[in-house]
Amino acid sequence: MLDWSKISTVLLDMDGTILDLHFDNHFWLHHLPKRYSDLRGVSLADAQTSLANHYEKVAGTIDWYCLDYWAQQTQLSITDLKREVQHLIQLRSDAHDFLVALKSSGREVVLVTNAHPDSLSLKIERTKLDKYFDTLYSTHEFGVTKESQLLWQRLHQKHGFALEKTLFVDDSVVMLDSAKKYGIEHLLAVANPDSKKASAVINDYPSITDYSVLLAGINNSQWDN
């Protein structure tokens, strides 16, 4: 599936890739609409429809991921509402062993997430995920998201990874397409980002539903210098 002898840097998405996406899906599709319906005095169904339409309008932009934007749009403290269901924030069940194997192999492990810095901070607080990474980036510091080629240009300029020796892992084909267009050589999709939902069928990239299938390759190979 992957030639680990040719991979020295691993760029990892967060939500759905390292963390169970169930938290985010529950929050944006159920919890926030419920609180929004209470505030507006409308039905839950109407609140869900209104928010879903708004999500669609800004999907793929920095606003979609920006907690400040949604706080302004809904007149609700998004960070406080996330804390109401923070017990749902957790690592994927297969993530710990995968991340430990990567670190132990000596490879550089970098988090690249579109999540807002406040969301990243909450998730670090809950899961201590920062201990697995050499560097953590929220794309908000670059002003653009992984969907944009400009993000990869700015990230590459700042971090300086070798495209031909870098693996990027994400649960979004759109993000993988963007990374491929920029020239990242090794790409891997996560087909089951939400533990409560069925796995997706992904045809365009190698994909996994359990990182354990990668452990032997990581542990038994040294990359070429």
- Percent of the chain clearing pLDDT 70 (strictly above): 99
CATH annotation of 4-20+90-219:
3.40.50.1000
Structure tokens belonging to residue 56: 């669609």
How many CB atoms lie under 10 A from the CB of residue 100?
A: 14
pLDDT digits (tens, 9 = 90+) for 12-41: 999 999 999 999 999 999 999 999 999 999
pLDDT at 2: 95
Q: Where in the chain is the domain with CATH 3.40.50.1000?
A: 4-20+90-219
User: Count of alpha carbons within 13 Å of 50, Cβ hemisphere only?
Assistant: 15
Q: pLDDT of 91-125, one tens digit each? A: 999 999 999 999 999 999 999 999 999 999 999 99
CA distance 158 to 8: 17
User: Which pTM does this prediction carry?
Assistant: 0.95
Q: Whole-angstrom Cα distance, residue 179 to residue 67?
A: 25
Q: Which residues 6+ apart lie within 8 Å of 174 measured at CB?
A: 60, 147
pLDDT of amino acid 220: 86
